Amino acid sequence: MQRDLRTGLAINGFDPVSYRFGSRPSAGLPEHELIHEGVVWRFASQANLEAFRDAPGIYAPAFAGFDPTGVANGVAVDSDPGQYAIIGSRLFLFRSAENRQRFLQDAALLAQAEDRWKSVLRVVAR
């Protein structure tokens, strides 16, 4: 999972569950932290922490939080948690508004990212 190398926080401390509710994601709080797969996640509430703990695959961003347009090009590109889209049931984070718009307009990018994700993940995991 993409994380801040200084703090260890996933998605810069934003609450991954909050993307599904309301108009904007919420910052997580230190009192609602969970370590999942070696990464620290923060949540706006205990209820959100429990929802994530029970079903992380539903709430964690696709492609481990890396920008899917970069993944489609075969590279892991850090994202900005403020640039996002929920497509179907998946949360996608993007590096920029331009990448987000490009991804939303070109359906082929998702298929390309899916095809290249395993090879990108192998490089990231090193």
Instruction: Please report, for the chain, how many H helices and E strands are present, in that order.
Output: 5, 4
Between CA 118 and CA 114 the distance in angstroms is: 8
What does the pLDDT read at residue 46? Answer: 97
pLDDT of residue 125: 66
How confident is the model at residue 2, as a pLDDT? 79
All structural domains of the chain with their residue ranges: 11-56, 62-124
Average pLDDT over residues 67-91: 94
| Helix 97-105 × helix 108-124 angle, to 10° | 130
pLDDT tens per residue, range 1-51: 877 778 889 999 999 999 998 788 999 999 999 999 889 999 999 999 999
